[in-house]
Amino acid sequence: MQYHLLHFKEIDSTNSYLKNTYRLLDNFTFVSTDYQSKGKGREDRVWQSESGENLMFSFLIKNEELMKLSSILSIMIAVEVVKEIEKYDVNNVSVKWPNDVLINDKKVCGILLEGQVPEYLVIGVGLNVNQKEFPDGLRRPATSLSLELNEDVNLDELKERLFKNIVNNFSNPQTDAYLDYFREHNYLLNKRVRVLINNEPFIGEVVGVDDNFCLQILSSDMILHIDSGEIEIL
């Protein structure tokens, strides 16, 4: 399956680039960069990454069938990242619903989904690869592949494999396989959490993931099925 690749030495944000130019570009156009001057995280946060050390990319989805999966695309990408990381013999890699990848409780990858269905979607991925030091005061401690492995990783090889796997697997998405993988790597399983539903707080224990990739939280005698939002671990 074909894909298009653009690489910039520096850009404001690969997500912003695709959001501004999607009309002119094809499905599966990937944009990567060495450095972002205005990298974006979720909830209007800033995504900072040392120049040339990490993988930062976004790709465009215009395919109708894939856009129907918009609610689970972040998890699908997180699973692709976990599979790639596990090839390096790293243990304790997990998906923190809805869209982070962790190694040993530390964040190694964040995912930002933007766009307007049915027109287009942009999926942005920031994966810490060779960065060794991270700023103090991050919401969650960060790590990188090289910190976990004690050696640097070839960024170009990792990027090429990941892009090819994404394109191949997203061209014919096996959602059951993604669900199984997510269930086996669910960071929040058995954790006590607090979640806001329509501004009402619920406290409970994560007991699993349902067939629609919603998080199941046992709260009092109810099982809540959560399909979006932020979860706070207690």
Binding site for ligand BTN (CB under 6 A): 13-15, 36, 39-42, 45, 47, 56-58, 100, 110-112, 124-126
Minimum distance of ligand BTN from residue 132's CB (angstroms): 19
Backbone phi, psi, residue 210, to 5°:
-85, 180
- CB of 36 or CB of 204, closer to ligand BTN: 36
Bridge partners (DSSP) of residue 29 are 4
Rg of the chain (C-alpha set): 17
Minimum distance of ligand BTN from residue 30's CB (angstroms): 11
- CB of 10 or CB of 64, closer to ligand BTN: 10
For residue 11, the tally of other CB atoms under 10 A from its CB is 22
- CB of 115 or CB of 124, closer to ligand BTN: 124
Minimum distance of ligand BTN from residue 223's CB (angstroms): 27
Is residue 105 within 8 Å of residue 139, measured between CB atoms? no
Distance CA 213, CA 209 (A): 6
Minimum distance of ligand BTN from residue 126's CB (angstroms): 3
Angle in degrees, CA 133, 229, 16, rounded to 5: 60
- CB of 78 or CB of 204, closer to ligand BTN: 78
Minimum distance of ligand BTN from residue 222's CB (angstroms): 29
Give the strand order in the sheet containing 215-219: 222-226, 215-219, 200-209, 192-197, 231-233
- The residue number whose beta carbon is nearest to ligand BTN equals 110
Token pair 């395919």: residue: 63
Minimum distance of ligand BTN from residue 219's CB (angstroms): 26
- CB of 124 or CB of 204, closer to ligand BTN: 124
In order of 50, 142, 226, the CA distances from 134 in angstroms are 9, 7, 31
- CB of 107 or CB of 185, closer to ligand BTN: 107
Query: Residue 169 region, left (φ>0) first, then alpha (ψ -120 to 50), else beta?
Result: alpha
